[in-house]
Amino acid sequence: MARTLLLVVLAVAILLELGLTGGAFFAPMFTLAQFGVVYGPETKFLAYLTGWFLLFVTLAVGLAWMWVRQRHAGYAGLCYLLGSWWIGIGIGIFVVFGKPDNLLLDSLKGLFIVVLTWRSQSGGAVRPTPALAA
């Protein structure tokens, strides 16, 4: 059950990150406005970097989803890393910028990933990676 919920939370995270990634590349003015940044010549580079950063996060979450689905031995480390990172981002944005929506969205998503990863580890068998099995 925890593994299934973890897959669902990761799928939602993929969709959210993919939406932000597409926005950063194809609608940078709108995306930067969501972060309170005015789009202009000085911030074009910021939008470009944000797009690539979000694409990297999207791919990392996609890899985590695939590893959880396949019961790969390394899924827990990647999920713990992503979950902790989102918890930190949510708390950091709240503390520095006073935006509670990020605290709820990012930190709650991260907390769900950490807790569900922990619960899924206690309940199911994990297949060893081929390199470690030999």
Q: In angstroms, rounded to a whole number, what is the distance separating the alpha carbons of residues 116 and 65?
A: 13
Hey, which of 20-34, 65-79, 119-133 has the most confident mean pLDDT? 65-79
Residue predicted with more confidence, 103 or 55: 55
Tell whether 22 is covered by a domain. Answer: yes
Domain that holds residue 26: 2-124
- Please name the residue ranges forming H helices in 27-74: 28-34, 44-70
What's the average model confidence in pLDDT over 62-73? Answer: 96
Tell whether 129 is covered by a domain. Answer: no
Total domains present in the chain: 1
What pLDDT sits at residue 11?
97
Residue 58: Cβ within 10 Å count: 20
How far the first Cα of the chain sits from its last, in Å, is 31
CB 20 within 8 A of CB 51: no
Tell whether 134 is covered by a domain. Answer: no
User: pLDDT tens across 13-64, in order?
Assistant: 999 999 999 999 999 998 888 878 888 888 889 889 989 999 999 999 999 9
Residue predicted with more confidence, 131 or 126: 131
Tell whether 69 is covered by a domain. Answer: yes
Tell whether 77 is covered by a domain. Answer: yes
Residue 128 confidence class, pLDDT cut points 50, 70, 90: low
Cross-strand bridge partners of residue 127: 72
Tell whether 130 is covered by a domain. Answer: no
Tell whether 133 is covered by a domain. Answer: no
Tell whether 62 is covered by a domain. Answer: yes
What's the average model confidence in pLDDT over 101-105? Answer: 83
